[in-house]
């Protein structure tokens, strides 16, 4: 893996199938936010200052150890930190709404990521 990113930016890998599922599930505005972020992140990497640690065990029962997130308005993206070819890289796990209104049965980005990471 050749890393052409600037210092302070983390390299990222996207899963086309998972990203496609998340983009189709999102509203038109959400899909545009996701696609714009992906374009920037694949070109430049993810700004390290925009990354926040995910809770290893979340209040909804999610398990996102070794994961980080970025906030994109009311949406978020979750990445798993992996080691590839001797370097740390962010691997796309999910995109979606961070928090739904009470009583909603829709899954949050954290629940989507948890489901994918647990298989």
Q: What is the CATH number of the domain that holds 101?
A: 3.30.2310.20
Which residue has 């990222």 as its token pair?
Answer: 12
Instruction: Tell me the pLDDT tens digit for each residue of 32-47.
Output: 999 999 999 999 999 9
Indicate whether 3 pLDDT > 70: no
**Domain span at 89:** 9-118
107 located within any domain: yes
Instruction: Tell me the pLDDT tens digit for each residue of 71-112.
Output: 999 999 999 999 999 999 999 999 999 987 787 888 999 999
72 located within any domain: yes
**Percent of the chain residues topping a pLDDT of 70:** 95
Q: Tell me what pLDDT residue 2 has.
A: 47
64 located within any domain: yes
Domains: count for the chain: 1
Alpha carbon separation from 92 to 13, 79, 102, 103 (Å, rounded): 6, 5, 27, 28
């Amino acid at each position: 893996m050749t890393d052409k990113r600037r210092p302070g930016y983390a390299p990222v890998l996207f899963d086309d199938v998972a990203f496609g599922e998340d983009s189709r599930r999102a509203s038109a505005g959400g899909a545009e936010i996701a696609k714009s972020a992906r374009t920037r992140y694949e070109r430049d990497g993810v700004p390290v200052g925009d990354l926040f640690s995910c809770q290893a065990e979340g209040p909804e029962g999610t398990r996102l150890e070794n994961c980080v997130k970025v906030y994109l308005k009311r949406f978020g993206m979750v990445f798993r930190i992996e080691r590839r070819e001797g370097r740390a890289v962010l691997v796309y796990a999910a995109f979606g709404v961070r928090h739904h209104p009470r009583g909603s049965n829709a899954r949050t980005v954290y629940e989507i990521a948890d489901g994918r990471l647990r298989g």
